[in-house]
Amino acid sequence: MRICIVAEGCYPYVVGGVSGWVHSMVKAFPEHEFVILSIIADREQSAKFAYELPENVVAVYESYLSDFDWGKKPKTGRRTHFGEKYYNALRSIIMNDTPDWDTVFKLFEKDFSIDDLLMGADFLHIVQELYDKRFTQINFSDFLWTMRSIYMPLFLILKTEIPKADIYHCVATGYAGVLGGMAKSRFKCGLILSEHGIYAREREEELIKATWVAGIYKNIWIDQFKKMAVLAYDKADVVTALYGHAKELQIELGCNESKIMITANGIDMDRFAYINGKTEEDKKFINIGAILRVTPIKDVKTMIRAFSFAKMIVPNLKLWIMGPTDEDEEYAQECFEIVEILNLHDVVFTGRINVTEYIGRMDFTILTSISEGQPLTILEGFAAKKPVIATDVGNCAGLIFGEGEDKLGEAGILTHIMNTEELAEAMIELARNPEKVKEMGEVGYKRCKAKYQLGQMQATYKELYNKTFEINFPKRVKELERN
């Protein structure tokens, strides 16, 4: 079986939760061939891998959200007109009027320039119609250029040459979901969609807060991500959610409930069986471990400020911020400056690490994200018997308190988003109560062992891959059985 993993902005270029999940999935199925179709910003990132690829990854393909095509001179020497059928299909996407994605997919098999399309008469007429119906209160020229900027990445994605595979496994909706939907339409293959965070909702939250886009255009961008989500949900054979509330959000966005299956994350607990404990130097401190990418979505600034208040009460606290600082260098620099301004001597930025070399030295971990799915870093802490302080996002509450029949107890402390006072109080509470830390660490370990092991996740996806293959290729299954 050949499986194509379709990912945006992560594996194998960036280290993080979703990338780690993809890497572990590929390694978990050595009997299958994997190809990676990765969506990245532009060709500047090409082939700059952050992972050593497993042997069963036979190829990596790239798709770009910004590329040379835009801004080139038209290939044909004239602006392209595609005919009524394709015009109506393109119109259905832009007007969000029962989108005819299958015809649009066929349109983008044709040889034309994205510049031709965006600067051409068809696109202009459709945008003019949308403007006349809904947006006459704003300047048309601004509106037209904004629509071109919105549709340029989508059109570039639609021109992607998709590698052939039996099953396409998208790890988000968005542009990855578009590629998965296009593969399903073109090759009549299997399609699995696994959402770690609810992509459309995350983009909506970011756009609401964004300062780079004017108010009226926020809704257009939000609608764009929602229509791409619906495409992915409609085309998928099965959609997985990490926990119950994520499933509810998928249904709200338009996913058929019958397609959704809750599949928890899983980690290799054996990696944490023989980790080193505290060094003699470590024993002078109460070590707090933050395993994360230093980016705005992790809200490292609030963490640092909370730590500064907690350290006034508990002077031997030490904060270890463990993860890459090069994904958003401007934000990372601002974090470094806060540490300097607050005169904090016991904040360590380690950069990228092997988590097993550090986690045993920590007393507890912390995660202050403003958006998450089901964080692998929390589970890794649990595997090492380390409780967590976490913000109430994604499934953090479920990991800390348990869900359903899980009555094991609390494995950490939950706080509100961007609440400096609550975070500081939580640090102080755990620092002053080592027995509580130990008890919570044991609870986390038992919870992880019961529900979140790699073997459990592997068994679930083995069944999903096999069933999806059987549904889409019944003749090949019969041939294999005969042989």
Q: Are 250 and 329 found together in one domain? A: no
What are 446's two structure tokens? 């038992």
pLDDT greater than 80 at residue 78: no
Q: Are 43 and 91 found together in one domain? A: no
CB-facing half-sphere around the CA of 124: CA atoms within 13 A: 9
CATH number at residue 207: 3.40.50.2000
Q: Please tell me the predicted confidence (pLDDT) of residue 80.
A: 65
Q: Are 179 and 40 found together in one domain? A: yes
Comparing CA positions, the residue from 276, 268, 248 lying closest to residue 260 is: 248
- What mean pLDDT comes out for the span 228-234? 97
Q: Please tell me the predicted confidence (pLDDT) of residue 476.
A: 84
Q: Residue 131 falls within a domain, yes or no?
A: yes
Q: Please tell me the predicted confidence (pLDDT) of residue 107.
A: 95
pLDDT greater than 90 at residue 483: no
Q: Are 229 and 276 found together in one domain? A: no
Peptide bond into 99 cis (omega under 30): no
172, 196 Cβ separation under 8 angstroms: yes
Q: Are 16 and 33 found together in one domain? A: yes
Q: Please tell me the predicted confidence (pLDDT) of residue 194.
A: 97
- What mean pLDDT comes out for the span 357-377? 95
- For 24-35, how does the pLDDT look when each residue is reduced to its tens digit (9 = 90+)? 999 999 999 999
* Sequence-ordered strand ranges (E) for 141-295: 167-170, 190-195, 238-241, 260-262, 286-291
Pairing label, strands 167-170, 57-64:
unpaired
- What mean pLDDT comes out for the span 244-252? 96
- For 181-228, how does the pLDDT look when each residue is reduced to its tens digit (9 = 90+)? 999 999 999 999 999 989 999 999 889 888 888 888 999 999 999 999
Q: pLDDT band at residue 74, thresholds of 50, 70 and 90?
A: low
Full strand arrangement of the beta sheet holding 33-40: 57-64, 33-40, 2-8, 167-170, 190-195, 238-241, 260-262
Q: Residue 460 falls within a domain, yes or no?
A: no
- What mean pLDDT comes out for the span 92-116? 93
Q: Please tell me the predicted confidence (pLDDT) of residue 327.
A: 87
pLDDT greater than 80 at residue 72: no
Q: What is the pTM of this model?
A: 0.91
- What mean pLDDT comes out for the span 447-457? 95
Q: Are 63 and 195 found together in one domain? A: yes
Phi, psi of 260 (to 5 degrees): -90, 135
Domain end point (choices 98, 128, 149)? 149
- What mean pLDDT comes out for the span 17-46? 94
What are 70's two structure tokens? 């835009």
Mean pLDDT computed over every residue of the chain: 93
Name the β-bridge partners of 388.
Answer: 365, 412
Q: Are 338 and 428 found together in one domain? A: yes
* CA 386/CA 368 separation, integer angstroms: 16
Comparing CA positions, the residue from 243, 232, 230 lying closest to residue 171 is: 232
Q: Are 143 and 211 found together in one domain? A: no
Q: Please tell me the predicted confidence (pLDDT) of residue 416.
A: 97
Q: pLDDT band at residue 77, thresholds of 50, 70 and 90?
A: very low
Kind and range of the H or E element at 413?
A: strand 412-415
Residue 26 CA, chain-centre distance (Å), reads 17
Q: Please tell me the predicted confidence (pLDDT) of residue 81.
A: 76
Q: Are 317 and 295 found together in one domain? A: yes
Question: Hey, what amino acid is at 342?
Answer: L
Q: Residue 78 falls within a domain, yes or no?
A: no
Q: Please tell me the predicted confidence (pLDDT) of residue 148.
A: 95
Which residue has better confidence, 353 or 76?
Answer: 353
Q: Are 352 and 442 found together in one domain? A: yes
* CA 25/CA 263 separation, integer angstroms: 13
What are 125's two structure tokens? 């007429």
Among all chains, which residue has been given the structure tokens 């991500």? 225
Q: Residue 472 falls within a domain, yes or no?
A: no
- What mean pLDDT comes out for the span 115-134? 94
Q: pLDDT band at residue 97, thresholds of 50, 70 and 90?
A: confident
Q: Residue 369 falls within a domain, yes or no?
A: yes
Q: Are 64 and 48 found together in one domain? A: yes
Q: Which domain holds residue 397?
A: 269-452
Domain end point (choices 206, 240, 262)? 262
Q: Please tell me the predicted confidence (pLDDT) of residue 186.
A: 95
- What mean pLDDT comes out for the span 457-465? 95
294, 323 Cβ separation under 8 angstroms: yes
Q: Residue 458 falls within a domain, yes or no?
A: no
Q: How far apart are the first and last CA of the chain?
A: 16
Total domain count, the chain: 3
Domain end point (choices 225, 245, 262)? 262
Q: Are 313 and 218 found together in one domain? A: no
Q: Residue 332 falls within a domain, yes or no?
A: yes
354, 271 Cβ separation under 8 angstroms: no
Q: Residue 480 falls within a domain, yes or no?
A: no
Which residue has better confidence, 79 or 3?
Answer: 3
Work out the angle at residue 306's Cα, subtended by the Cα atoms of residues 304 and 312, and round it to the nearest 5 degrees.
105
- What mean pLDDT comes out for the span 348-372? 95
